[in-house]
Amino acid sequence: MVLVAVLTLGTAASAQHAIGVRLGGGQGFGTEISYQHGLGQNRLEFDLGWHGGDHYNDLNLVGVYQVTGNISGNFGWYAGAGVGLTLVSWNNGHDGDGSFALGVVGQAGVEYNFQAVPIQVSLDIRPRLNIINPYGSGLDFHWGDIALGIRYTF
For residue 46, the surrounding DSSP H or E stretch is: strand 42-52
- Please tell me the predicted confidence (pLDDT) of residue 54: 72
CA dist., res. 96 & res. 120, Å (int): 38
CA 92-96-97 angle, 5° bins: 60
The CATH number linked to 120 is 2.40.160.20
Helix (H, G, I), strand (E, B) or coil at 130: strand
The reported pLDDT for the residue numbered 92 is 64
- In order along its 154 residues, the chain shows pLDDT tens digits of 433 333 333 334 445 999 999 998 655 678 999 999 999 999 999 999 998 777 778 899 999 999 999 999 999 999 999 999 999 887 766 555 568 899 999 999 999 999 999 999 999 999 999 999 877 777 888 887 899 999 999 9
Pairwise CA distance, residues 63 & 47, whole Å: 7
Q: Look up the domain containing 31 and give its range.
A: 2-153
- If one counts the domains in the chain, the total is 1
What does the alpha-carbon distance between residue 60 and residue 49 come to, in Å, rounded to a whole number? 5
Alpha-carbon radius of gyration of the chain: 18
- Predicted local confidence at residue 37, as pLDDT: 98
Report the pLDDT value the prediction gives residue 140, as an integer from 0 to 100.
87
Which is it for strands 119-132 and 42-52: parallel, antiparallel or unpaired? unpaired
